[in-house]
């Protein structure tokens, strides 16, 4: 069964055709990075307008590359939440139009669940497992019971981890988006040069916070320079990266210990980070899976892939499917 997936939740306009939840027949992504670069961040109004301009050509290319036609598409899956409301509405309206015209089922997808599903496109990973979703908009640690069922252990109380990377890069004029740039600079730096603070939230041991770290890196960096270490940009990036990712590692270790689950899935844009991948892979107490780099950041293959699972279970959306900007449904542990 071929599913058409549509992803327009933020600044990537993406359409993909995936067969049987696994085989990616096409995955076309039109990124808006260049248009948002002058602002060092995504401008919601510009994002929505660019989705409107691009979606038809991206859709046509995805259909052509996969040699698909309306007749052999079984359903249309689309990101319905969370994300920028104007952007989501473009994808959702387009998906509803196709679904109505083709008389094919419409399936609303949660972007967070889709990110966590992404590595399943490449490897079969058993449920339940520990899921770590780290991106520009989200930082979430959860027990993933099934493709559509997660139990949140912890989140960030302020910035998402990718946002912290982006803000540090913005302050030091490194470019946008900052994650990859900081990661590259860090490869020439000494991660022990600065000893930046971590954070511990007593009542919520799985939660993380990045505002203190961000302030330390931006406004108080000299305070954290270790002995005679050099105050260079690569040293700063390497030390910041270590502090930001070690916080997550600590939470993953706790989760593995407490739940007894020994499989960890890391997904989202920050799962492309080289230090995070090295550190998670170095652990002997769990087996870790990540999507390939192209499937870490936003794409529509993960939407079409998880859409197939919904279709198989006959979990179809109605015409009242709406866009939601925030995460509302996930339950925290008592
Ligand atoms: O998943 P994604 O494409 O979009 C969201 O759903 O947010 O993630 C984008 C985020 C950005 O904050 C970007 O700076 C970060 O992922 N990112 C990285 C790396 N590559 C992308 N952060 C750290 N290291 C990287 N190598
Ligand atoms: Zn994302």
Return the ligand 1 atom nearest residue 297 CA. Answer: 3
Ligand 1 pocket, mutate which of 47, 131, 165, 278 (most atoms under 8 A from CB): 165
Nearest CA to ligand 1 atom 16: 269
Full strand arrangement of the beta sheet holding 263-267: 149-155, 139-146, 129-134, 263-267, 287-289
| Planar angle of CA 60, 66, 70, nearest 5 degrees | 60
Identify the DSSP state of 248.
H
CA of 272 to the centre of ligand 2 (A): 12
pLDDT in tens, 156-175: 999 999 999 999 999 999 99
| pLDDT band at residue 69 using 50, 70 and 90 as cut-offs | very high
Task: Find the helix or strand (DSSP H, E) in which 72 lies.
Answer: none
| pLDDT band at residue 271 using 50, 70 and 90 as cut-offs | very high
* 165 touches ligand 1 (CB under 6 Å): yes
Whether residue 265 has pLDDT greater than 50 = yes
| pLDDT band at residue 41 using 50, 70 and 90 as cut-offs | confident
* Ligand at shortest distance from the CA of 297: 1
* 291 touches ligand 1 (CB under 6 Å): no
* Ligand at shortest distance from the CA of 290: 1
Higher pLDDT, 331 or 306: 306
CA of 264 to the centre of ligand 1 (A): 19
Q: Count Cβ atoms below 10 Å from residue 232 Cβ, excluding itself.
A: 14
* 270 touches ligand 1 (CB under 6 Å): yes
Return the ligand 1 atom nearest residue 137 CA. Answer: 7
Q: Which tokens belong to 228?
A: 């005679």
Tell me, what's the pLDDT at 304? 98
- Looking up tokens 């094919």 gives 104
Q: Which tokens belong to 99?
A: 């679904």
Q: Which tokens belong to 175?
A: 């470019």
Q: How far is CA 135 from the centre of its chain?
A: 4
Report every protein residue that has its C-beta within 5 angstroms of ion ligand 2. Answer: 135, 298
pLDDT in tens, 91-123: 999 999 999 999 999 999 999 999 999 999 999
Task: Find the helix or strand (DSSP H, E) in which 139 lies.
Answer: strand 139-146
């Amino acid at each position: 069964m071929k599913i058409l997936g549509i992803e327009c939740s933020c600044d990537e306009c993406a359409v993909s055709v995936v067969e049987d939840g696994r085989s990616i027949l096409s995955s076309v992504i039109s990124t808006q990075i260049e248009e948002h670069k002058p602002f060092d961040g995504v401008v919601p109004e510009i994002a929505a307008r660019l989705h409107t301009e691009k979606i038809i050509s991206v859709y046509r290319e995805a259909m052509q590359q996969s040699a698909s036609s309306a007749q052999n598409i079984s359903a249309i899956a689309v990101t319905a939440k969370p994300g920028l409301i104007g952007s989501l509405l473009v994808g959702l309206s387009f998906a509803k139009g196709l679904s109505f015209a083709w008389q094919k089922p419409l399936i609303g997808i949660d972007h967070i669940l889709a990110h966590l599903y992404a590595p399943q496109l490449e490897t079969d990973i058993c449920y339940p497992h520990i899921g770590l979703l780290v991106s520009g908009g989200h930082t979430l640690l959860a027990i993933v019971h099934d493709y559509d069922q997660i139990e949140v252990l912890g989140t960030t109380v302020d910035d998402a981890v990718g946002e912290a990377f982006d803000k540090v890069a913005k302050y030091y004029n490194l470019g946008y988006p900052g994650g990859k740039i900081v990661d590259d600079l860090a490869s020439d730096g000494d991660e022990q040069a600065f000893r930046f603070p971590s954070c511990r939230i007593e009542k919520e041991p799985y939660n993380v916070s990045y505002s203190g770290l961000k302030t330390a890196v931006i406004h108080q960096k000299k305070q954290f320079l270790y002995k005679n270490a050099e105050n260079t940009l690569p040293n700063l990036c390497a030390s910041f990266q270590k502090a930001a990712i070690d916080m997550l590692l600590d939470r993953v270790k706790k989760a593995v210990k407490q739940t007894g689950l020994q499989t960890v899935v890391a997904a989202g844009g920050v799962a492309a980070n080289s230090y995070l991948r090295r550190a998670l892979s170095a652990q002997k107490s769990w087996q870790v899976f990540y999507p390939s780099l192209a499937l870490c950041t936003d794409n529509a293959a993960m939407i079409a892939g998880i859409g197939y699972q919904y279709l198989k279970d006959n979990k179809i959306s109605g015409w009242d499917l709406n866009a939601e900007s925030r995460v509302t449904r996930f339950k925290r542990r008592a």
